[in-house]
Amino acid sequence: MSTAGFVISSLDCLISKAFTEKTKGKLLSYGSDRVPYGKIRIKNPITSKGCSSNEQESTSLLNLTGSPFYVSDSNTLIAIGCNNKASLTNIEPSIVGCFSSCLPTNRTASKDYLETVNCNSKSTYDDDGYGYCSERSYINETSCNGNRCCKASMPGSIQQVVGVKIDDNAIKIKECKVAFLTYDQAYSLLHGSDPNLVLAKRYSTVELGWFIHTTDLLSFVDSLKCMFMTEYLNLSRRSYEWTSGISCACDYNSYFPNYTSCRCNRGYKGNPYIPGGCKDINECTESDHSICGDGTCVNLQGSLKCVFSNHKLAIGFGSSFGSLILIGGIYGLYKFIGKQRRLNQKKKFFKRNGGLLLQQQLTSTEGSVDKTRVFSSRELEKATENFSLTRILGQGGQGTVYKGMLVDGRIVAVKKSKVVDEDKLEEFINEVVILSQINHRNIVKLLGCCLETDVPVLVYEFIPNGNLFEHLHEDESDDHTMTTWEVRLRIAIDIAGALSYLHSAASSPIYHRDVKSTNIMLDEKYRAKVSDFGTSRTVTVDHTHLTTVVSGTVGYVDPEYFQSSQFTDKSDVYSFGVVLAELITGEKSVSFLRSQENRTLATYFILAMKENRLFDIIDAPIRDGCKLNQVTATANLARKCLNLKGRKRPSMREVSMELEKIRASSVDMQLHEYGSENEEDNEKGVADANIELQSWNSIAVTAPTSQYDVGTSSLSISDIEPLFPYQTR
The DSSP symbol for 576 reads H
pTM: 0.49
SS3 603: helix
- The band of 35, judged by pLDDT with boundaries at 50, 70 and 90, is low
What's the per-residue H, E or C state across 320-351? HHHHHHHHHHHHHHHHHHHHHHHHHHHHHHHH
| Helix-strand-coil split of the chain, %, nearest 5 | 40, 20, 40
pLDDT for the residue numbered 383: 92
Mean per-residue pLDDT over the chain, rounded: 75
Average pLDDT over residues 705-714: 32
Tens-place pLDDT, residues 79-130: 988 888 999 999 888 889 999 888 765 543 333 333 333 333 333 434 333 3
d(CA 80, CA 49): 11
Task: Please give the backbone phi and psi of residue 314, each rounded to the nearest 5 degrees, phi first.
Answer: -65, -40
Phi-psi region for residue 447, left (φ > 0), alpha (ψ -120 to 50) or beta?
Answer: alpha
Q: What is the pLDDT of residue 225?
A: 86
Ordered by where they begin, the domains of the chain are 2-210 (no CATH), 218-305 (no CATH), 353-461 (3.30.200.20)
Q: What is the mean pLDDT of residues 477-495?
A: 85
Residue 353: what residue type? N
**Whose CA is closest to 590, among 722, 724, 490, 713?**
713
Residue 499 in contact with residue 579, Cβ under 8 Å?
A: no
310 or 352, greater pLDDT: 352
Q: What is the pLDDT of residue 457?
A: 87
Q: Which of 194, 514, 558, 569 is catalytic?
A: 514
Q: Give me the mean pLDDT over the 225-229 stretch.
A: 87
For residues 135 and 126, the answer to whether their CB atoms sit within 8 Å is no
Q: In the structure, what pLDDT confidence band is assigned to residue 12 with cuts at 50, 70 and 90?
A: low
CA 310, CA 312: separation in Å to the nearest integer? 5
The residue among 534 and 41 whose pLDDT is bigger is 41
For 128-152, write each residue's pLDDT tens digit: 333 433 443 333 445 688 888 888 9
65: amino acid identity, one letter: T
State the pairing for strand pair 69-71/248-253. Answer: unpaired
pLDDT of residue 267: 85
Alpha helix locations (H) across 131-173? none
pLDDT tens-digit profile of 577-603? 999 999 999 999 998 888 888 889 999
Q: Residue 564: pLDDT above 90?
A: no
Quick: pLDDT tens for 329-342: 999 999 899 888 88
Q: How far apart are CA 202 and CA 44, in angstroms?
A: 9
The pLDDT of residue 715: 32
Distance CA 501, CA 435 (A): 12
CA distance 498 to 512: 10
Residue 353, class by beta-carbon neighbours within 10 Å (0-12 exposed, 13-18 middle, 19+ buried)?
A: buried
Segment 384-402 shows an average pLDDT of 83
Arithmetic mean of pLDDT, 557-573:
89
Angstrom distance (rounded) from CA 479 to CA 462: 21
Please answer whether residues 383 and 416 qualify as being in contact, where contact means their C-beta atoms are separated by less than 8 angstroms: no
**pLDDT tier for residue 214 given thresholds of 50, 70 and 90:** confident
With cut-offs at 50, 70 and 90, classify the pLDDT of residue 171: low
Q: How far apart are CA 378 and CA 186, in angstroms?
A: 72
Quote the DSSP letter at residue 414: E
Quote the pLDDT of residue 320.
86
Q: Is the pLDDT of residue 179 over 70?
A: yes
Residue 146's Cβ-count burial label (10 Å; 0-12, 13-18, 19+) is middle
- Positive or negative, the CA dihedral 409, 412, 418, 424 is negative
Query: What confidence score (pLDDT) does residue 14 get?
Result: 52
Between 382 and 354, whose confidence is greater? 382
Q: Report pLDDT for 28.
A: 65
pLDDT at 543: 34
Residue 191 predicted with pLDDT over 60: no
Q: What residues form DSSP beta bridges with 39?
A: 209
Please give the pLDDT value at position 650. 96
Q: Tell which residue, 458, 314, 464, 285, has the closest CA to residue 380.
A: 458
What band does 173 get if pLDDT is binned at 50, 70 and 90?
low
Residue 73 known to be catalytic: no
pLDDT for 679: 52
Per-residue model confidence (pLDDT) at position 598: 86
pLDDT digits (tens, 9 = 90+) for 434-454: 777 788 899 998 888 888 888
Q: Is the pLDDT of residue 642 over 80?
A: yes
For 504-546, write each residue's pLDDT tens digit: 866 678 888 889 998 899 988 899 999 876 543 333 333 332 3
Q: Which amino acid is at 275?
A: P
- Of all residues in the chain, the percent with pLDDT exceeding 70 is 70
pLDDT for 562 equals 85
Could you tell me which residues come within 8 angstroms of residue 631 by beta carbon, excluding any fewer than 6 positions away? 485, 584, 614, 618, 622
Task: Determine the Cα–Cα distance for residues 373 and 432; give it in Å rounded to an integer.
Answer: 10
User: Could you tell me which of 31, 34, 15, 13 has the C-alpha nearest to residue 23?
Assistant: 15
Percent of the chain whose pLDDT exceeds 90: 21
Of residues 606 and 170, the one with the higher pLDDT is 606
Q: Is the pLDDT of residue 376 over 80?
A: yes
What does the pLDDT look like over 244-299, one tens digit per residue?
Answer: 788 898 887 776 677 788 888 888 888 888 888 899 988 888 766 667 777 788 88
Q: CA nearest 552: which of 525, 584, 578? A: 578
Residue type, 331: Y
Q: Is the pLDDT of residue 722 over 60?
A: no
- 72-102 burial: b if 16+ Cβ within 10 Å, else e: bbbbbbbbbbbebbbbbbebeeeebbbebee
Alpha-helical regions (H) of 375-478:
377-383, 425-436, 468-469
pLDDT at 346: 84
Q: What is the predicted pLDDT for the residue at 479? A: 65
